Structure 1
């Protein structure tokens, strides 16, 4: 503990870097809390090293809290927007375009089950289709195949 207090600015910078590494590598930017605290700790350490803040533990704690809060307030919305961006693109897995024969009637607004590639899929269509109709897969979502007459 004496070493930490004797070299407080350097210790704070190292501690801040450790917080950033944990946030990025372990938590994968999922919380942002350690990111803000890490940045606040590094800035506090730099301010102490430059002589702009007295090197005391109380000043370190207060400055880290204030700077972390300011960093969080300033960057919370941009970070949240960045995290919520989801690219929506259709992945082609090779099933779209495949054909098969319906084993039962497919009524409008209803689904039937079809076993394809070892998995039971719900099959739906925008039009009613009769049993024995050859259909083509036009879209695929989790557990649901959308088909049309081939």
Structure 2
């Protein structure tokens, strides 16, 4: 028996198995990173079930059309919920860095319009004031503490001394 005759004879089972393979690839290998394979897998399994129960005709054209249309509908329906699942809450400060808590003495005045720089560990870091001190001016020679770290940038706050 040739392959096409076998597929035609067992179209519902082959369609369900194809959908399950697509879902396995999407979930286990790609980690739910593409909505296309997810929608196509669910649509193909659903189409196979509809063929199996006699709701859809058992033709290759009907199966391909049903899977494609179902994948398109599922993609449209799942687009916004899956996009919203990817949104993360941005914290005010990065709390996972060994560089936080470092103290520096400023070589130049630091305020919201004039960021300073400091060389640390072979990298020139831009120093910017934290949100609580946006209107403050920190004079040259003052100590500042790193409260957040971004790429090439330290967010700093003035170190409060006991005399203040």
Q: TM-score if structure 1 supplies the norm length?
A: 0.82
1:98 aligned onto 2:102: yes
Q: Secondary structure at the match of 1:135?
A: strand
Unpaired runs of 5+ in structure 2? Answer: 160-164
CA deviation vs aligned residue, 1:30-73 (integer Å, no higher than 9, x gap)? 33111111111101111122222221111212221232233233
- Please provide the CA RMSD for this pair: 2.2
- Please give the residue correspondences for 1:67-106 in structure 2 after superposition, counting only pairs within 5 Å: 67-83=70-86, 85-89=87-91, 90-106=94-110
CA deviation vs aligned residue, 1:73-105 (integer Å, no higher than 9, x gap)? 33332222223x213233332333321212333
Unpaired runs of 5+ in structure 1? Answer: none
Structure 2 counterpart of 1:113, from 94, 107, 117? 117
Q: Secondary structure at the match of 1:131?
A: coil
Quick check: 1:109–1:124 contact (8 Å CA) kept in 2? no
Distance 1:108 1:86, change over 3 A: closer
Question: Shift of residue 107 of structure 1?
Answer: 4.5
Q: In the alignment, what sits opposite 1:130?
A: 139
Quick check: 1:124–1:146 contact (8 Å CA) kept in 2? yes
Quick check: 2:99–2:146 contact (8 Å CA) kept in 1? yes
Q: In the alignment, what sits opposite 1:34?
A: 37
Deviates more, 1:4-13 or 1:70-79: 70-79
CA distance in 1, matches of 2:122, 2:100: 17
CA distance in 1, matches of 2:67, 2:146: 57
